[in-house]
Amino acid sequence: MTYDLSEEQKALRSQVQEMAAEKVAPRAAEIDRTGEYPWDMQKLLAENDLLGLAIPEEYGGSGASLLSNCIVAEELARACATTSLIFVVQKLAAYPIIIAGSDETKRKYLPPIAKGDTIAAFCLTERGAGSDASATKTIAAETDNGYLMNGEKCFITNGSIAGVFSTFAMTDPDRGVRGISTFVVESDFPGVSSGHIEDKMGLRGAQVSEVNFEDCLVPKENMMGDRGSGFITAMKTLDSSRPLVGAQATGIAQGALDEAVKWAREREQFGSPIGKLQGIQFLLADMKTRVEAARQLVYRSATLCDNNDPELSIFSAMSKLFASDVAMSVTTDAVQVLGGYGYMKDHPLERMMRDAKVTQIYEGTNQVQRIVVARRLLGKM
């Protein structure tokens, strides 16, 4: 299997690289400093038809492959991880609609998501149900008029600004994960509200909040897929989105490596650039090797997804696991190359290091990814 990029994908990478260098990178430090949602970056992605890249053409998108989406996520993260997250979450939140929504549901919700007119959010996590989806407490009780939803989601990216929520709730609590169903919920449905906005270590511009449902009546046609199929929908979504997080992590790592190489060429100590010191050379060589290995694993998992390969789940988990660990180690080493300067907010590396950490946590912690990999290796015991 080859991961060589097509001419179209190479052109896409060049286009995003140029846009990121000219318009995204200059905003990154201010976005981090203020912690405000970068509406200008959201508009930029929408104007360049990037927010609908993963959405099928018949529903207003570009219908691009996951590999192409990973290229975009990586190049944006290389300049600004928060801007990359705008792109990643729009795809993440749209995917349950793509795979489980009826044609009517897709035609209603996907075109405005693709255009960027509607911001979307993915509502799965709860305070007591992070890695353990079976502990979901949000209930959607069937009534004559629809499903009455009550519960609270947390750590929801775009939670305070989204117009549409792909939401997972218990319709049959006594069945565990087999009792979870998927719904598309609009922010202006009575009973929907956003709660506390989190004050985060990194990805400062991303609006991450609680989303509350209080006697929210969801129309029956807004259930997506069969009743009780929500866990499967969530896992399929995560299988296709974990490579995107891996790509984001790879981009952060590449951005940090770029800064470290530039510094090693320009910074002089003992009468010559520090890049001539073997200790620095070894650090840079190891960083470059890890970044390239992460990129190839991400590309492999994306290609498996595009080909509907049964090995997707294990490679998806490995790509997210490995790339995010690489992002953390490479940003840490890059700070070390700059020494005291790397620890200062005058340089972007301390931001990159903070941004990298969450890639080891969201979309399933790396401990969960190791469980996924091990179970696939061992099979049923």
Contact 46, 115 (CB under 8 A): yes
Q: What is the DSSP string of 248-280?
A: HHHHHHHHHHHHHHHHHHH-EETTEEGGGSHHH
Q: Please, which residues have CB within 8 angstroms of residue 208's CB and are 6 or more apart in sequence?
A: 155, 156, 157, 159, 197, 198, 200
Contact 275, 264 (CB under 8 A): yes
Alpha helices in the chain (DSSP H): 7-19, 25-34, 39-47, 66-79, 81-100, 103-115, 230-266, 278-306, 312-338, 349-358, 366-378
Residues paired with residue 157 on neighbouring β-strands, in sequence order:
208
Integer Cα distance of 200 and 300 in angstroms? 31
Residues paired with residue 164 on neighbouring β-strands, in sequence order:
120, 186
SS3 313: helix
Q: What is the DSSP string of 321-380?
A: HHHHHHHHHHHHHHHHHHGGGGGSTTSTHHHHHHHHHHTTTTTS-HHHHHHHHHHHHH--
Q: Which amino acid is at 84?
A: S
Contact 129, 166 (CB under 8 A): no
Catalytic one among 152, 259, 350, 363? 363
SS3 226: coil
Integer Cα distance of 196 and 79 in angstroms? 28
Residues paired with residue 152 on neighbouring β-strands, in sequence order:
212
Integer Cα distance of 180 and 192 in angstroms? 19
Whether 198 sits among the annotated catalytic residues: the reply is no
Contact 162, 185 (CB under 8 A): no
As annotated, the active-site residues are 363
